[in-house]
Structure 1
């Protein structure tokens, strides 16, 4: 192990790792486990005053903010623009020494760029970008922003400035690396490298399967589960269209868990179509969600066909973890489907092609051995390539 690094992680949200682990807490815990001094700064849209907490060995400065989640785009956008000012003020107020060796920032949101620059200038540390959102182009793809308009130009300038300032940029997939290279020819390509999403392949605990099935009305059901954000990027209409075309399979149920800007509209669509093979639930406690994934038969992935950027859905990691085969409806600009083929963990169709998606669903529905093999392949790939330890090694190598 090399020298001890003083690391600051600039987060949007950062749940208490003692209660819930997620992508970035797993990485920061790995840094801490390897002996590095980790400091996290994160927004707290329910807090009244900034405060430093000590959670699972991490120092976390939680900063009160305006509403960031579950609100309209205007308030959410203003809240994100305000964050850099709030973060700087909190760091000054708590007299945090700005002598960090490494500044790690993920996207989204790109608005935290200003505090990242400020910390880099003050501390002379290296800036490492975890690129998980190619913004503003994704907003253009989803028609949330006009191309080359004032707002797009404003954020595109910030994006260019960010890429130039970073010492290293970790991208989700090979297609992400190539996309950034192609659309940012000014950028030194040696900054870019592959940093796949990661998760902790926790031991699967015993579940009272029958009690869980009874609780959610899943007795004798073949379950295809979707868990996560229900927004424009996911375009869950494609899953609902599949459900509409599968009503003759009486024991098949589509179990959709999550919240997002499109949740109410999707729920209305299910109601209007009178689909009794779709169950929708708000966000569930992690343990309850894991219980349902464990007894599910298929994990669902959906991405909008409107994307020109190559997205890579992190929710697939929970399917890998619980050895579930993946059924994906994705656009042709992502390499997610092709990578599923290479790993041998699932089947995919072009988003919008319901006939192909149903054909793949039936393959999985009718062949338990195939489901078991694909699920095991996904789990093995995760254990060998996608743990927090693997992510730490990649990041540390580049800082």
Structure 2
């Protein structure tokens, strides 16, 4: 009996706004994290019914809660109203439904040893972790993927000093009550220290995000599914520069499209391939990009819907070069996880990222692409021209190979998940408000 108690798994509650099968990058990462830690923890996830794109399937509209078991992870889903990403009110209504629903759902669960919450939805994700800590008398691990209100300030989503001040107060409150903060970049660790001005800084560690390198890997361009994808969207025999991911507020895509406009339809590489710019995904600025394309007759720009996760390996491999971008002010605030998929597919990177940000550091250290500073559109244009000029020379392929080699050595799912397990298990109450 004593031996059985010693080997019993610790119970971990994970608050995740989105979870598989939703296509949100954090939902995919959390699924792989949860499944990867099942050898150490008995895990329950509280999340919304699948609804990342705004719609809810009929089968999730009849009950308030839905219980599922996905690959050994217990999932408790909350019904939320449908929304439009272009409508602020409907998005807020949807987010609040998750927040209050998750608080209530916490009472449906038994004892927990650990509560793990991410920084999404902004501010509320941290508060959910504090709530879970109090209700379950558990240790609280706060996984900060994006800092707010810093992110809101960077894109001027709100200029209200009261709103921004309140957001900062609340999220610092969540940080203070965490037993451990895990961020996803060196620059994000600095943000924690800057928030607290170096005094009574909560224990903070950095663990890189990842992609499952067994699911995303290099595929030959003549693979039947790659060929089918290219044919479906008019990418056959083209030099493809692709953006794949959330087409949202934090990437300055509207201004980058103006740079792309300088490359007129019919632009060709030295080898005679037409150049095409593909955007794969959806988000709040997609309609604006589509409208701009139409008004300016940019026939070399293609918009493609989100791909099923099983097909992502083929869409990523359909490109010759991938964008990895953030808007100015996002350094130390957010880390574009799309980079890991680009590297896993062994593709070169057209980066628009601030100096000393985590992903730009990795790209520069591995010489896996070309980097520009956000807002330096002349440099962005020059880098696009470099890729077009060097298409077919082997230089671009070698960039991608270096990125994948580094990923296999340092940024695999197994490496990061093991670090998460170790940090959570070593988390003690005495760490609260200690300096890292």
The residue number in structure 1 matching 2:102 is 87
Residues in 2 aligned to 1:233 and 1:116: alpha-carbon distance in whole angstroms: 25
1:320: Cα distance to partner? 1.0
Which of 249, 259, 270 aligns to 2:267? It is 249
Structure with larger RCO (C-alpha < 8 A, sep 6+):
2
Matched, 1:135 2:148: yes
User: Any residues of structure 2 matched to 1:181-330 within 5 Å, and which?
Assistant: 181-185=193-197, 188-189=200-201, 191-203=203-215, 204=217, 207-208=223-224, 209-247=226-264, 249-250=267-268, 251-307=274-330, 309-330=332-353
Matched, 1:393 2:418: yes
Residues in 2 aligned to 1:344 and 1:189: alpha-carbon distance in whole angstroms: 34
Residues in 2 aligned to 1:24 and 1:143: alpha-carbon distance in whole angstroms: 29
Q: Flag structure 2 segments of 5+ consecutive residues without an equivalent.
A: 1-5, 269-273, 425-436
Which of 37, 42, 46 aligns to 1:37? It is 42
1:83: Cα distance to partner? 2.8
1:220: Cα distance to partner? 1.5
1:7: Cα distance to partner? 0.9
1:232: Cα distance to partner? 1.6
**Distance 1:383-1:69 versus aligned 2 partners, 3 A rule:** farther
- Deviation track 1:35-56 (CA, whole Å, cap 9, x = no partner) reads 4211111012533320210111
1:293: Cα distance to partner? 1.5
Check whether the contact 2:367–2:402 (CA below 8 A) recurs between aligned residues: yes
Check whether the contact 1:337–1:347 (CA below 8 A) recurs between aligned residues: no
**Distance 1:156-1:263 versus aligned 2 partners, 3 A rule:** same
1:309: Cα distance to partner? 4.4
Check whether the contact 1:323–1:376 (CA below 8 A) recurs between aligned residues: yes
1:131: Cα distance to partner? 0.7
Residues in 1 aligned to 2:75 and 2:84: alpha-carbon distance in whole angstroms: 20
Which of 59, 82, 86 aligns to 1:67? It is 82
Check whether the contact 1:239–1:302 (CA below 8 A) recurs between aligned residues: no
User: Any residues of structure 2 matched to 1:9-158 within 5 Å, and which?
Assistant: 9-16=14-21, 22-32=28-38, 34-44=39-49, 46=56, 47-48=60-61, 49=63, 50-67=65-82, 70=85, 72-92=87-107, 95-97=108-110, 99-109=111-121, 110-149=123-162, 151-158=163-170
Q: Flag structure 1 segments of 5+ consecutive residues without an equivalent.
A: none
**Secondary structure, counterpart of 2:351 in structure 1:** strand
**Distance 1:69-1:7 versus aligned 2 partners, 3 A rule:** farther
**Secondary structure, counterpart of 1:398 in structure 2:** helix
Residues in 2 aligned to 1:91 and 1:180: alpha-carbon distance in whole angstroms: 28
Matched, 1:371 2:396: yes
Residues in 2 aligned to 1:262 and 1:69: alpha-carbon distance in whole angstroms: 12
Residues in 2 aligned to 1:231 and 1:107: alpha-carbon distance in whole angstroms: 17
- Deviation track 1:167-212 (CA, whole Å, cap 9, x = no partner) reads 1111121111112211222664461111111121025467314333
